[in-house]
Amino acid sequence: MLHGVIAGALVASAFLFRTHGSNWGENASSTGAIQASMVSAIPLPNTQRTLDTGVLTSEAPSPAPIVAKERAEPPPKPNEVAIPEKITKPIKTAEKPTPTPPKRPQPTPPEPTKAATGETAGVRIAQSTLELRNGTASVSVQDRTFGARFAYYVNIVNQKVSQNWLVGEADPRSSMGRSSTIVFDIDRNGTPSNVRVETASGSPTLDQSATRAVQRVDGFGPLPAGDRITVEFTFHYHPQ
C-alpha cells in the first residue's frame, strides 16, 4: 500500500516534471505538441479505404503536454493519405523452366468480337469491370492482345485502383451519374506513370479522386509481358 502511494507520487511527479520542464527532447524546433487519438481504424495495408474524416473517436489517452506548441502542424496534404502497399519487388526469376511456357501472344491475336479497326478509341469494350459501392470501375488496356492474354492482370489493375479510390473524395451532388476517364502507363516493373485525365467528367472532384486513386498505387506487380502498357480507367459515379 505504502509502495502504491510512493509509486503513485512518483508517477505524478514525473508528470509534473514533464509539464514544467522544457528540456525534454533535444531539438525544440522539431518537437510538436503530442497528441494521440484512439481511432476505430487507421488505414492498414490493403484496407486503406477509410477517409480521413469520420474515423476519429472522441477518446484521447491524455491531455497533450504543454510543451513546444509554437509549431503549427502543416495541414495534411491529400496525397498523404496512407497508401500502405508494399514496394514492388523485382521480378522473380523462375527456379526452373516452366513446364508449359506461355505462348507469346503476338502471333495469334484474338479476334475482336466487334468490328472495330482497333486503332480508334471509340468502341472499346472494358476488359475488367467492378461494381463498387458508389459506382462502376472499368479498366481497358489499349493493347488488346495483352488485355485478352493477361486478363487477370487487367483485373488486378482495376482492383488495386478501386481499392485506393476514396469514395468520399468526390462530391456526390456534382458527380452523380458522371464518368471520369483516366489514362496512365504501367512500366515493366508495374509502376504507374503519366497519369492524366482523358475524359473529364464535368465534376472536378470526381476527376481528382480518380486521378488520386491511380497515384496512390505504388505498383501493380511486374508486367507478365512487354515493357509498357497504356491503361484506361473509367469511373462511373452512381451511388446506390
Partner 1 sequence: MQYAHRRSLGALLVLLLCTASSLFAQDTFKTETSSGVANIRIAVPDFKQLAADPQAANFKHVFDTTLFNDLTNAAIFDIVSKSLLPQSVPGGPSEISVAQWAAAPTSAAMVAFGAFNLQGDKLVINGFLFDAKNTQFPQVLAKQYTDAASEDAARQIAHRFADEIIFRLSGGSQGIAESKIYYVKIGGGNKEIWAMDYDGANQHAVTHLGTISLSPRISPDNTRVAFSSLGRDGFQIRMFSLVLNRMVNFPAVGGTNLSPTWNPNGHEIAFSSSRSGDPEIWAADANGSGSRRITSFRGPDVSPVFNPRTGAQLAWISGRTGLPQLYIMDADGSAVQRLTDTGYATSPSWSPNGQFITFAWDRKYGPGAPGGQDIYVIEVAPGPGGAHRWIQLTHDGGRCDFPSWSPDGRHIVYANSPDGRAEHTRIMTVLADGTQKHELTGAGADMPNWSWK
Partner 2 sequence: MSAIQIKIRKALLLAATAVAIGAVTGCHKKDSGIDTSALAPAPAASAAAPTASITADPLAIDQGQSVVLNWRTQNATSVTIDGIGPVNNNGTQTVTPTNSTNFHLTAKGDGGSTEANVRVTVRVPVAPTAPSSNISETDMGSEAAFHQNVQDIFFDYDSYDVRPDAASSVSQAASYLTSHPAIKVVIGGYCDDRGSAEYNLALGENRANAARTALVNAGVPASRLRVISYGKEKQFCTEENESCWQQNRRAQFSLDR
Least Å distance, CB 9 to partner 2, is 9
Q: Is 226 in the site for partner 1 (CB under 8 A)?
A: no
**Strands ordered across the beta sheet of 128-132:** 128-132, 135-141, 228-237, 179-187, 192-199
Least Å distance, CB 12 to partner 2, is 12
Q: Is 122 in the site for partner 1 (CB under 8 A)?
A: no
Choose the contact partner of 196 out of partner 2, partner 1, none; CB within 5 to 8 A by kind. Answer: none
Q: Is 99 in the site for partner 1 (CB under 8 A)?
A: yes
C-alpha grid cell, residue 110: 484474338
Of residues 42, 121, 123, 125, which one binds partner 1 by CB under 8 A? 42
Ramachandran angles phi, psi of 56, nearest 5°: -75, 135
Least Å distance, CB 88 to partner 1, is 4
- Among candidates 50, 29, 26, which has minimal Cα distance to 40? 50
Q: Is 192 in the site for partner 1 (CB under 8 A)?
A: no
Choose the contact partner of 226 out of partner 2, partner 1, none; CB within 5 to 8 A by kind. Answer: none
Of residues 58, 79, 86, 107, which one binds partner 1 by CB under 8 A? 86
Choose the contact partner of 82 out of partner 2, partner 1, none; CB within 5 to 8 A by kind. Answer: partner 1
Task: Determine the size of the site formed for partner 1 (CB under 8 A).
Answer: 96
Q: Is 38 in the site for partner 1 (CB under 8 A)?
A: yes
Pick 43 or 234: Cβ nearer partner 1: 43
Pick 166 or 182: Cβ nearer partner 1: 166
Task: Determine the size of the site formed for partner 2 (CB under 8 A).
Answer: 7
Q: Is 12 in the site for partner 2 (CB under 8 A)?
A: no
| 67-93: burial string, b at 16+ Cβ within 10 Å, e else | bbeeeeeeeeeeeebebebeeeeeeee
Of residues 116, 148, 176, 197, which one binds partner 1 by CB under 8 A? 148
Distance CA 228, CA 219 (A): 13
Q: Are 223 and 143 in contact (CB under 8 A)?
A: no
Q: Is 10 in the site for partner 2 (CB under 8 A)?
A: yes
Distance CA 21, CA 209 (A): 45
Of residues 4, 75, 76, 99, which one binds partner 2 by CB under 8 A? 4
What are the DSSP calls for 151-202, one per residue?
HHHHHHHHHHHHHT--GGGS-HHHHTT-EEEEEEEEETTS-EEEEEEEE--S
Distance CA 236, CA 240 (A): 12
H/E stretch holding 206 reads: helix 204-215
Q: Is 6 in the site for partner 2 (CB under 8 A)?
A: yes
Question: End-to-end distance of the chain based on CA atoms, in angstroms?
Answer: 61
